[in-house]
Chain A
């Protein structure tokens, strides 16, 4: 069974640009969560989608958005990039919603974004 796949793995952007990151979940998983990881800040929750519906959203500005398609693949978009957006963006899929006992998160390897 293929794991969670994230593309691109690395990308460099300049301030003001926008970026789209993609996540393909494990087959059969309907929940996709996104996290931002920076040194010292741990895993900051961005949003979670379940069956194409945004189930939860974290405390990030409106520049951060996402969506989920009917095949459960998900994308997140960051517009008007700022230097502080440089981070590792992790996507995780699960069978059930993430805050439940059957919602074990399976993480992808992440997309490392550098904003110059």
Chain B
């Protein structure tokens, strides 16, 4: 099955700075990589995703990059704001189609 590792587990950034979260996966058959954001006390929500045939995807202040050779993908948040404070989860499907999540990264944006 898929093993998704996510780093760091916590990330503290000053407002306006950038934040980067990295994930690695083990199953070379994985072809879809979503990122979910969970604010305190709320449900996780999809914020961005990328297919394996694309190297980078941007949506306003967030971007995701994928390196299939190295089996890792990253989430980049630029010009961080207090509302970016949340837990972020990366995910990848294994060859059985089971979507496995990383352990999560607690992002804290300090004014």
Contacts and interface: CB of A to CB of B under 8 A. Distances in A.
Contacts of A16: none
Nearest to A104: B46
A41 B97 contact: no
B44 A43 contact: yes
Interface string B35-76: 010000001111001010000000000000000000000000
Interface string B68-108: 00000000000000000000010001101111111110000
A107 B49 contact: no
Contact of A105 (B51, B99, B103): B99
B89 A43 contact: yes
A66 interface: no
Contacts of A104: 34, 46, 49
B89 A56 contact: no
A90 B101 CA distance: 13
Given A99-B93, A103-B32, A109-B43, 20 more contacts: A33-B99, A35-B101, A42-B104, A43-B44, A43-B104, A44-B101, A45-B98, A45-B101, A56-B97, A98-B93, A99-B97, A100-B32, A101-B32, A101-B49, A101-B51, A104-B46, A105-B36, A105-B44, A105-B99, A107-B44
Interface of B: 1, 6, 32, 34, 36, 43-46, 49, 51, 89, 93-94, 96-104
Interface of A: 33, 35, 40-45, 48, 55-56, 58-59, 90, 97-101, 103-105, 107-110
